[in-house]
Structure 1
Amino acid sequence: MSNCKVSKWLQDLLEKLEEQVDSEIQNIKNEHETETKEAENLKTLLKECQRIEKINIEIIEKMQQEIEDLKEWKRENSSDTKNCSQCEERSTHITRLNVKNEQRSNKVELLERRIQESELIQNSKRSECEETELEIEKFEGGTQKAFVINAAETQERSEVDTSRVSSSDAFSKSVKSESVTLINKQRRKSHDLSKNIRCYVCDKVGHKSNECWNRDRSFVWRKYRRRSDHSDSSFGSTGTATRSRQERSTGANSANWRTTRVSSNYKKKNIHKSTSSSSDETSNSSNIRNHEQREKYDYRKKCYCCGKQGHLSRDCYSVKNDWQEMKNENVEMMQHGLCTLTKIVNRMSKTFEKWIPRMLKPPIPSEPDVPFKKGGV
């Protein structure tokens, strides 16, 4: 009983092994068929390339013969003109010959161009044939090594030095930056000068005497008289009040007008105006208030950017110049980045165009080292 069981088990094992061997044989046959098909396709490609080469060689030979014929025809025409001296219409004949020569020369140039193009096509076809032959001979390991080496070369080429800029671009940028800095310096100087200028009419900083709104001298004296009246209301005696008025009037005269020519006639005029009727004072009081409000609005402004008086923060020159400089720098940086990006994209696209078709090709399987022998286990 035990021997029967062993024999059955051995028979089952043999059947299984035979099935496995048959399946492996079929797989190997299928692979061999695919390899033979690929080899046949490559052979057909080689035959087509050789046929195209022969056709191109024939075309080139024909074109060369035509060129030689045209050159001979030119020589004959040049010799025919000597025999044409007896003709009455010599000039017309010569012009016709010249036109024909020009046409033939144009044809020759076209033929030479076509020959060059055909030679280029022939060279490209030869290179393709050589590549196909090399691919037939190569195996998987060799192709992988070549792919790795070429990929490393393309990566090294794709790296772009962003620091490198042409000399003309650098020179133009330096000139622009220098011009911008000079303009800003001039503006700052003019601004500082306008802030240091003092008006001798109103004794204030920020404008010239020609540009002063308080051009009327009588109005200046009325203003100072009005201030002295308000300040002298607390004094007890009239003598002290008049004395303080006189002192302040003389002080205002010397401080505001900044002149040494102070005459008694001028003081008399001021006294006469001070003793004028109340109607003049009431009529001019509204003007005084308007001028004072205008003065407060003009000269009590303060900039929160530079900390100076005379202008608001929205009119500050320093903020505007800084903003414009930052804007120009940002624009330049964006343009430089776009240029480098386009260069990188173009180089990467070229490398992908080269390598994608090679990557999509199926790998050539390697042949087995030991041939399979049927009948052995």
Structure 2
Amino acid sequence: MSSQPEPGTEPGSGRPDVLVHRFRSFDFPFQASFRDHFTILDPWTDSPDEPADAFLARRAGGARALVCVGPTPLPADTLRLLPSLQVVIGTSAGVDHIDLRECRRRGIAVTNAGAAFAEDAADYAVALLLDVLRRMSAADRYLREGLWLKNGNYPLGFKLGGKRVGIVGLGNIGSHVAKRLQPFGCDIAYNSRSKKPSCPFPYYASIHDLASNSDVLILCCALTEETHHVINREVMTVLGDRGVIINVGRGSLIDEKELVQSLLQGELGGAGLDVFEDEPNMPKELFGLDNVVLSPHRAVITPESFEAMRELTISNLKAFFSNEPLSCLVQHK
């Protein structure tokens, strides 16, 4: 009697099925290396003229693993088309686009790629802070527009050394931010879901209190129902007219309308923003402000971080199919 293939495994291949879930416009450049280990099911590659949901229902019902590419939404309706699903491997640091409640109900494990992106995101956060304080991008524009010759020296910026920096979310990214800021002589404090017993920095359970004792807030936390608009007008007010906000987390951590008004009215000292509430749309009122540095959601992305993400994704898939522990496992609430 011939042996039966493991459920979710292509007959005769010996390679388990892995569903790739992505926007049609999203590239998945690592498919070739994935195919060395897995049978890839990708609606946009395998059956581009068929609606994705129809493909899932017809072809992917037995898939036990799914790779969610970037911020592609993975709602409960899509998860219900995948009755055999046991693990979602995320390729981004955040997981707010995945229905974690449905995953928890179904017992589906979820991982992210935060460890692959943490160092690059931390570098970028510090770069944004330096740029906002020292006005490097604004000074570059001033020079290129011929204003140095016409108007004289550009106005002074502010030093980073000695600033009180509050980190919101002391996870992978936040910890690397703290590590990079210590040599500058910054006084670091943090807010997180809970106090970290081994952490040497002061802990504030309230972001309002953290802001009251900070010159800078750096946002590195995940976007959840609890952290949506956690940076509101009250927080901006106590941060003050020389305070700076840096966001490399998610745009909706900040009440963007209130942020724009605080900056336009001079009630906040500056901002470095890599993420926005309605990407790629963003408030054009910020374009003319020299104390604001804007970036198109690039903090985590380098060739090196992409390669680290690829390795982490393959490693987690191999671990899952070998019944070994997963890395970067997301704790469902």
Task: Give the structure-2-normalised TM-score.
Answer: 0.15
Larger Rg: 1
Task: Give the structure-1-normalised TM-score.
Answer: 0.14
User: As a proportion of its length, which structure holds more strand?
Assistant: 2
